[in-house]
Structure 1
Amino acid sequence: MVGNAGADGADIVGRTAELGALRAFLAGAAAGTAGTLVVCGDAGVGKTALVQQACKSPSFNGWTFAGACLPLTSMTVPFLALRTAFRDAPRFEGDGRPSLPKAGEPPHDVPVAIDAWLDVLCQRRPVSLVIDDLQWADQSTLDVLMYLIAGPANRRLAVIATLRTGEIGEDHPLQRWLADVRRLPRIDWLGLGPLDRLDTEAQLALLLGVPAHQSLLQEVFSHTAGNAYLNRLVVAGLAPAARHLPPELPADLKAAVLRSWHSLSAGARRLTQLMAVGGRPVQAEDLAAVARADTLSDPLSDPLPALLHEAADAGIVECSTDGAYWWFHHPLIAEVLEQGADAGERMRWHAAFAVREESRLADHEPPDFESLAALADHHYTAGHSADAYRWALRASAAAGQAGGAAEMLRLLRRAVDLHGVLPDAAESREELRSRLRTAAEQSGAQDEELEAVEALLAGIDSGDRPLDAAELLVRRTLLRFSTGREFLSSHQLHLAVRLAGTAPDSWQYAYALAEFAHVGLWRGDPQAEARAAKALAVAWQAGNPRALSYALTANSMAALIGGRTAEARVLAAEAAVPAVQARDFWALLHATVWQANATEAWTSQAFADLMRAGREHLAALGAPHSYMSKMAADEASSYLAIGRWQECARALRVALGSDPGAMGDVAARLTAARLAAWQGGQDEASSHLARAEELFAHKSGYNNLSFDAVRAEVLLAAADPQAAYAAATAGVNKEGQHPTMCEWLLPLAARALADLIQEATDDGRPPGGLLALMDGLVGRFPSVLRETGTGTELYEVQIAAFDMLYLAEVGRARRKAGIATDWIRSADACQAASLRWEEVYSCWRAAESLLLHGHSQRGLATTVLRRGLTLAEELQAAPIRKLLRNLAAGARIAVDRPVAGDPAPGDAAPPGLTQREREILAFVVAGRTYAEIAEALVISEKTVSSHISNLLRKTGAANRLDLARLARRAAR
């Protein structure tokens, strides 16, 4: 997920495509085509780091001369960046190295001299000339660059310049130079934008050493808008476990943000600070009105439009495309300026903005919720509690009508806080908390919803209001489950059933009974199915869509566990309809997952498709991202299981692309940990697993998640088989329904024991105790675990594959004769089951076993080894690829199979050959046998022999070795 991070991953994270474009540009220059590339973007997006990393590419293999322009104001140093760039350039006798004139000296044709000198160097090696911060370049440097850019096309010269786009206004002196350069040939532009949320998360993980908490990530991203340099500054000095940014931004960050602001005139500085206090894009006339109302400050020295344009030229503010509104180029500028204002001044300005907003609202009916929210915020910061409370309630209602659930939640939270200091408030505290709960549910803020639910529960007398208390108890149980605090609590749900049972025809009773049945089904309670049926009958009678959806899903789960898959599928599909009517997105997610469970094993393309469709359905309904992220995480896990890791990575980006909520976060982390472990990112895998375990207090108690199996896989990848065995057996010994990935647990436990036995044998220790553990494991579990109720054709094939894998691991531990055959059968079974990671692992074990038995098995070992390598390359399974290549090297087996249809090396085979003869010649050069060539090209060995006879005749080669020699010679 992190992508190509290079030497300093934190500086170029998320730039894989841009890095590839830069390397391709340099490769073109190295091949003899001169070119120029301008890398542009805001300050801090990572332009310099990206260029530095690209120039380190081994494929370039040239000299890099890098110099930086400086923002000098009181002096001008001609050729400043070039002096720095050429300081360490190599010296050769007679290379014509030019001397750069000092200040005040005539330039004496410097551009021509530098151009000629670089021509000499380019004949020896490729050259890249990098000029950083072109916006500050002196005219002498620009003249040289212009001359170089317009120079010969057939030399190995790459000119790269970085440019801060936010600091060159329309009147900037560089604009004319850029206009002239654009007319020249062989010049390209590469724009760098900010990082997205997921790449910001990856950068923070590298900076902090662990994945960042979602709360910290959200704050950082909202502050920096994905600016890589600002990300680095804003978390500087934070503890790895930090959940929030400190109230005061770091001094270095403030200095970096305000560097250009300090160069403004006093009037422009005051105006932009006033704008920052306003808190949102503003029209010039409103800003002018507030400035006039501030009678305690001096009037602005210049007309307001002139001051705004001064700030825009400095890259501080910008105007909207329609010319109506002004706001800051980067949101962090506003925050730093607002923090820098004096407290009394801030209150005075907020009061002035409040007056202006109220006058504007009087002229607009109905007012938009953004204006209402701004008015509530101005009154709050100005210290007007009663007005802030009144406008917050009005704004929250408007936000709800406009679909702004997050803003509604923020304003209601404000109203709840203010309620305590307003004894005459018309609304009760319970009424406000009920509104807060609804807003939190609509925005997907499950932690805040849980807090509101618990506060409401604390204020209710369950004897007087048993149905309200029952409904709150069920919701609290679901929220504690989805936020990782506790797997579904049977005690709390039993209490809810007892309370709601005072009204046995109520929807609350059906709701409580359905969820009590749900948890009972997970725990193997024999009475759970009867409870689910009763809940459905009551729900139909009560006519409440929420209760009906949960009851239908509970009955779907019961049917699936009972082996009635068709019935389960229908019930789950029916459960989705009332879930949509109730806008209960958890109920809809629940119904969708159980419909998929009743359709196909989760380790399938079909399951992934259903999860994607469910996620798209949630998105169409406007559901919060926390629900969609769980669906995307389930989609990703399905893709990973069947080896489609690119689709897995894309689904993970969807899941983690916004705040995923605890359940979605954990599910995505577990899948990301598996992917990283298989592909060799051990540190990343461990970090993802640690983050998942940190989020959920009762990790192994969540049977719907794969904590135990993933933990075992990550530990095995980290060469810790003892801990891996403990993790796998913890999952095996769970009560109730088997956890997700239960099928993996016994093969993983056996693999860990086999590794421990191999370690003991290598160390000369008796493995008897470990063998006894293996015997006990097989005695208790002669075959792998399986999910209850799943019985599709694909799942049965997969169970057979896991059984074969288990058998092979046990045989490896017991040093069974002929174990290679079991591993080959395991590989074939996994291939049939679309379990590609297990297939490539089995190929490695099979090749290892075959080669340990000597050269009599060499032909078969070669075939299996090449099969494994092909799959390892496709999966990018770096650890197993390395193991297979080590085996091949030790056994002197050629494994770099040429692609059928490729010509001889260098695309220069001897003339006069047909396309088929060229294909066969490529295999001959690679040292392949007749049988291997026949298999690769799907022809007979006799046909291969005939083609090689023609090749010998056409080339005059004496034999195959001579033919290969001639082909290599032609390729040079």
Structure 2
Amino acid sequence: METRSVSPVFVGRADELRVLNDALARAVEPAAGEPQALLLGGEAGVGKTRLIEEFEAAALAAGALVVVGGCVEIGADGLPFAPFSAALRALREQLPAEFAAAAAGQEEELARLLPELCEGARRPQSTGGRAGEEAMGRLFELTARLLERMAADRTVVMVLEDLHWADASTRHLLSYLFRTLRSGRLVVLASYRADDIHRRHPLRPLLAELDRLRTVRRVELARFSRDEVAHQMAGILAAEPAPKLVDDVFERSDGNAFFVEELAVASHGGNCAALTDSLRDLLLVRVEDLPDDAQKVARIVAEGGSTVEYDLLAAVADLSEDDLIDALRAAVGANILLASPGGDGYRFRHSLVREAVGDDLLPGERSRINRRFATVLEADPALVPADQRAARLASYWYHAHDAAKALPAVLNASVVARSRHAYAEQLRLLERAMELWDAAPDDVRALLRPVDYTEVYPPCGCDPASTPLRYLDLMAEAAVAGRLCGERERALKITKRALRHLEDEQDALRSAWFWVQRSRLVQSLARGDGWKELATAQDLVRGHAPSEVHAEVFTMVAGWQMLHQPGPESLVAAEQAVEYARMVGASEIELNARLTLGGLVVDTGDIDAGLAEMYAVRDRVTADEVVTVLCRCYINLPSVLEGIGRHRESLDLLDEGIKLAQRYGLRESEAWMWANRSESLYSLGRWDDAVDSASRAVLSAKPRGGAGVRLAYFALARGDMAEAARHHAEAWRHFGTHDSIPQNTLPLARIALGIAAGEGRILDARAEFRRTVGDGLPPGTQRYGWPLVLAAATAEAEARGLAIAAPGRDESLHLIRTTAKSLATRVPVWQAYERWVRAELLRAEGHATSDDWLEVLTAISPLERPYDLARVRHRLAEALLSPGAPGGTDRDRAAELLRQAAAVGEHLSARPLVEAVTQLAQRARLPLTGSMSSAPADPAEELGLTTRERAVLRLVAAGRSNRQIAEELFISPKTASVHVSNILAKLGVAGRGEAAALAHRLGLFTADEESLVAG
């Protein structure tokens, strides 16, 4: 007889269901609909599944398409991407034509989630250690875009159940989707068992991370109240239960919906006192009432996984078909088992019962059942879905405690995980293989080959097709898998263990390979700059026959030196890397090395040759779709072009590269391109577009430092020192202090210097410059060095006349000149900087003439740098209006220059430039048609300064104390203090030094007053 244990009435949960339905409504809003992300948590048995079923019914009634995927538990192992594979499979089955159109052109990559996409076509290939990180990012991005396309014209609800069993790759993909889905009528609902999330559970960090996202809503299910328990029991028993029975059930179940069901069914007409207090016995009581064959089937299903296919179950149970059907009917009738949603297998109605049945198995019984599963599946792999075969076979053999069979099965599963970019699962399986290694018989290990199971096998002069697999090969593969899945600490421990293993072996190439991996990990973990490890690797390969390890070591060395210590040694290393890579046929390493070499050749001054090499690499990797090098090309080549002043060419390449990055789903590479695009747009004077590009760069963590630098530049140019300081601090946090790279440290120093100068802290600006260039600038850093030197020279010129700046001025100007002489001037933009610095230094000494600034203007004009051109026009106008200008003042020309500079400043919202231009025009009584300011002729009057306050300000700028001001103006020190406070408030500054700097910048003093201040 069937036992009804599920209430036909939906009990409680009105508030929670309202939240889910509200998310559905938000997703389909015609005007502002956007993807919705929900997390549903609650203890085992509290009613998560029932709530989801009610929500699914409501969604279907509203016309939504509902697809469900569950995390699959096999023993203690989750299957890679299992819930996404199931959900996408259901999506494809329901909308085959639409799915095909949305996945068009990306089937091979998406087949890593849904293998049937490549049926009859080329199977997805593994990608190699160097390509792994980008390939995984591409897969995630393509998945997001697929879902957005599928939900563009219809509402899609994707339910992902049992997240507590999720593998690491599933967790990573879910986090990615929750962060990046931006369009489509899509609701993603993921459920998890809250009581399983202990302190060390891998889901806990993800939940904490998602809690910080504004776009994710979390719903927690509480237990039922007594009234709700009574309502549930009435539905189960089809009659109102006696109050005493409700009290007993409520007390025993503590409001857990599943336990209420079990207790209500077991009450047998009103008495549950006979039930044991043991939870385990409560869960097993109805299983033990089943016929023997039904109990046997239940035990097999409990050990087979979350769901066991009917054909597999039939083969393992070894019952006649009639007996198996009778056993299943009894288990289903007792609400122990249910048919799976696809109708091709069986699962436990509740995982708590499955766990109780599994825990009740005897050790030998568990091993025997797993061995039976493994033997049957090995004989007929088609019994389970293709994407589950390797992992399930590995798990069955492992839990059968048969190391001889388990080792190759686990290794096969690791290869499949790698091919699907499930690197966390690959790492776990490789660690399991290392655990099994010593237990497996020698003859089994002798048959294993590196070519079959490893992809990053360190070349050591042996043929990987004929040489037996070694334990060190597994460690190499595991180290790379750990780096790719973000388990860098585990990867670093593996490399350390491997190097200890190698201490007693004369295997220099293999040791060098592990030192290279250790260098990468040390840098990524902020434990150092990685040079010590690379130098060790370089020493180890010296004197050995050419190999791929040589090529990789020299490529890494060249890349490291290009960033840290550019110069002749890095050029030699790059040339060696190219030579060795060609000798051994390592084409990807060769292309990377050639790209580095091209950039270094540009730095040496052979611009055309270096760019030709970089463009040749770009053309090759585009044609061959070498995705990893392709990304570097579209990051490095535009960066080099920007550095030599070819802004439009850089911008065109970046626009092209962004489209390719989006096509391949390479989000981090795309973020770097947006950051570089912002720099080129800044140079070209397209600042609003540039700010937008910088904002897009923050979508990925690593490029955020670069975006912070770009945004700080805009804030400085627009006079917002607080905003500049905020972005500077943000960039500093992302770049860190463990690994000083000139391309990061020099722009950061330039910003810090600019902030100090803008706030009137000239001594701090000098200290920043001295700290940065005290030991000289490395060769090849002129791209970043020239803007820093110009900022220092400009700060000194702006501080001329400040008493506080007089001590140490000569030493500072000498340091600026010396540093400038060390920088290359091979291209027009660097030549323009050199002339500009010289003019600013002359201005700082009071000797700059209109001829000096005309020379700068001539150099800047052809460069398509409107902001720089406007600044120089302002300085030339200033020189032309100077009383000591050669040939007298040229008011007409100065007026035109000022009008041009003001127009650019207004367009760019460059407030300091506009203010400086306006003040100069006011002093010279020149009109500025269309300028931002309509201030009175006297700038002091605009600021509301009285005659007395102006006199006090002049003395403040001369460095006088309140008492000295009082003595000179014949007022009391208290009155002087009041005047100073009023002046600071009117100027909107925080201190006397900043007030003095602002007064000079705005031209509040006459020439005679300036000389008095300087005196």
TM-score by length of 2: 0.48
**Is 2:856 aligned against 1:814?**
no
**Is 2:796 aligned against 1:753?**
yes
| Corresponding residue for residue 471 of structure 1 | 513
**Is 2:424 aligned against 1:409?**
yes
Offset at 1:743?
1.3
Offset at 1:385?
13
| Corresponding residue for residue 508 of structure 1 | 549
Aligned residue identity for 1:642: L
- Taking the aligned partners of 1:478 and 1:378, their CA distance within structure 2 comes to 32
| Corresponding residue for residue 20 of structure 2 | none
Q: What percent of counterpart residues are identical?
A: 17
Contact 2:426 2:481 in 1 (8 A): no
Aligned residue identity for 2:845: R
**Is 2:875 aligned against 1:833?**
no
Contact 1:601 1:792 in 2 (8 A): no
| Distance 1:38-1:400 versus aligned 2 partners, 3 A rule | closer
Q: Which structure has more RCO (C-alpha within 8 Å, separation ≥ 6)?
A: 2
Task: Note the alpha carbon deviations across 1:241-297, whole angstroms, 9 max, x for none.
Answer: xx99757759999995248998998999879xxxxx9xx9999999xx9xx999999
Structure 1 unaligned spans of 5+? 1-35, 46-164, 173-195, 198-214, 231-242, 272-276, 309-322, 326-337, 900-925, 928-972
- Taking the aligned partners of 1:249 and 1:459, their CA distance within structure 2 comes to 38
| Corresponding residue for residue 768 of structure 1 | 806
| Distance 1:558-1:841 versus aligned 2 partners, 3 A rule | closer
Offset at 1:710?
3.9
| Distance 1:373-1:542 versus aligned 2 partners, 3 A rule | closer
- Taking the aligned partners of 2:566 and 2:838, their CA distance within structure 1 comes to 26
**Is 2:295 aligned against 1:257?**
no
| Distance 1:225-1:524 versus aligned 2 partners, 3 A rule | closer
- Taking the aligned partners of 1:840 and 1:496, their CA distance within structure 2 comes to 51
- Aligned residue among 502, 506, 509 for 1:460: 502
- SS in structure 2 at match of 1:741: helix
| Distance 1:845-1:578 versus aligned 2 partners, 3 A rule | closer
| Distance 1:667-1:566 versus aligned 2 partners, 3 A rule | same
| Corresponding residue for residue 77 of structure 1 | none
Offset at 1:412?
2.0
Structure 2 unaligned spans of 5+? 1-28, 39-54, 63-143, 146-168, 183-187, 189-201, 237-255, 260-301, 315-326, 345-349, 361-365, 446-468, 936-1015
| Distance 1:440-1:732 versus aligned 2 partners, 3 A rule | same
- Taking the aligned partners of 2:856 and 2:692, their CA distance within structure 1 comes to 29
- Taking the aligned partners of 2:434 and 2:583, their CA distance within structure 1 comes to 40
Aligned residue identity for 2:864: S
| Distance 1:552-1:420 versus aligned 2 partners, 3 A rule | same
| Distance 1:845-1:668 versus aligned 2 partners, 3 A rule | same
Aligned residue identity for 2:836: M
Offset at 1:503?
1.6
- SS in structure 1 at match of 2:550: helix
Contact 2:678 2:694 in 1 (8 A): yes
- Aligned residue among 653, 659, 672 for 1:610: 653
What are the within-5 Å matches in structure 2 for residues 291-330 of structure 1?
A: none
Task: Note the alpha carbon deviations across 1:701-741, whole angstroms, 9 max, x for none.
Answer: 31343433344345545665444433344443445324341
- Aligned residue among 468, 477, 498 for 1:435: 477
Aligned residue identity for 1:708: A
What are the within-5 Å matches in structure 2 for residues 224-235 of structure 1?
A: 225=179
Judge which range, 638-647 or 741-750, deviates more. Answer: 638-647
What are the within-5 Å matches in structure 2 for residues 26-45 of structure 1?
A: none
- Taking the aligned partners of 2:177 and 2:734, their CA distance within structure 1 comes to 24
**Is 2:748 aligned against 1:707?**
yes
Aligned residue identity for 2:676: D
- Taking the aligned partners of 1:676 and 1:823, their CA distance within structure 2 comes to 26
Contact 1:510 1:538 in 2 (8 A): yes
Task: Note the alpha carbon deviations across 1:541-592, whole angstroms, 9 max, x for none.
Answer: 3333255345545654554344333333344455568879999866666666
| Corresponding residue for residue 323 of structure 2 | none
Offset at 1:472?
3.1
- Taking the aligned partners of 1:823 and 1:400, their CA distance within structure 2 comes to 62
What are the within-5 Å matches in structure 2 for residues 593-672 of structure 1?
A: 601-603=643-645, 604-613=647-656, 622=664, 625-649=667-691, 651-652=693-694, 655-658=697-700, 660=701, 662=702, 664-672=703-711
- SS in structure 1 at match of 2:502: coil
| Corresponding residue for residue 786 of structure 2 | 743
- SS in structure 1 at match of 2:742: coil
Contact 2:881 2:894 in 1 (8 A): yes
Offset at 1:505?
3.3
- SS in structure 2 at match of 1:436: helix
Aligned residue identity for 1:564: D
| Corresponding residue for residue 968 of structure 1 | none
**Is 2:930 aligned against 1:897?**
yes
Please give the root-mean-square deviation of Cα atoms over the aligned residues, in Å: 7.0
| Corresponding residue for residue 114 of structure 1 | none
Contact 2:575 2:597 in 1 (8 A): yes
Offset at 1:888?
7.8
| Corresponding residue for residue 400 of structure 1 | 418
| Distance 1:625-1:737 versus aligned 2 partners, 3 A rule | farther
Offset at 1:750?
1.7
- SS in structure 2 at match of 1:769: coil
| Distance 1:377-1:742 versus aligned 2 partners, 3 A rule | farther
Task: Note the alpha carbon deviations across 1:147-200, whole angstroms, 9 max, x for none.
Answer: xxxxxxxxxxxxxxxxxx99986879xxxxxxxxxxxxxxxxxxxxxxx99xxx
Aligned residue identity for 1:814: E
| Corresponding residue for residue 673 of structure 1 | 712
- Aligned residue among 571, 585, 588 for 1:543: 585
- SS in structure 2 at match of 1:433: helix
Aligned residue identity for 1:791: R
Contact 1:485 1:696 in 2 (8 A): no
Offset at 1:606?
1.3
**Is 2:766 aligned against 1:725?**
yes
Offset at 1:772?
1.7
TM-score by length of 1: 0.50
Aligned residue identity for 2:835: D
Offset at 1:434?
2.4
Contact 1:674 1:713 in 2 (8 A): no
Count residues in correspondence.
655
- Aligned residue among 683, 688, 692 for 2:731: 692
- Taking the aligned partners of 1:252 and 1:487, their CA distance within structure 2 comes to 34
| Corresponding residue for residue 908 of structure 2 | 875
Judge which range, 373-382 or 728-737, deviates more. Answer: 373-382
Judge which range, 580-589 or 527-536, deviates more. Answer: 580-589
Contact 1:444 1:626 in 2 (8 A): no
| Distance 1:617-1:852 versus aligned 2 partners, 3 A rule | same
Aligned residue identity for 1:803: R
Judge which range, 250-259 or 514-523, deviates more. Answer: 250-259
- Taking the aligned partners of 1:892 and 1:304, their CA distance within structure 2 comes to 90
- Aligned residue among 812, 828, 832 for 1:800: 832
Offset at 1:460?
2.5
Judge which range, 624-633 or 522-531, deviates more. Answer: 522-531
Offset at 1:748?
0.9
Offset at 1:804?
1.9
- Taking the aligned partners of 2:37 and 2:686, their CA distance within structure 1 comes to 35
Aligned residue identity for 1:693: W
- SS in structure 1 at match of 2:903: helix
- Taking the aligned partners of 2:530 and 2:565, their CA distance within structure 1 comes to 10
- Taking the aligned partners of 1:687 and 1:806, their CA distance within structure 2 comes to 31
Aligned residue identity for 2:839: L
Aligned residue identity for 1:436: A
- Taking the aligned partners of 2:36 and 2:474, their CA distance within structure 1 comes to 45
- SS in structure 2 at match of 1:838: helix
- Taking the aligned partners of 1:469 and 1:744, their CA distance within structure 2 comes to 43
Task: Note the alpha carbon deviations across 1:591-616, whole angstroms, 9 max, x for none.
Answer: 66665577674541212333454565
- SS in structure 1 at match of 2:864: coil
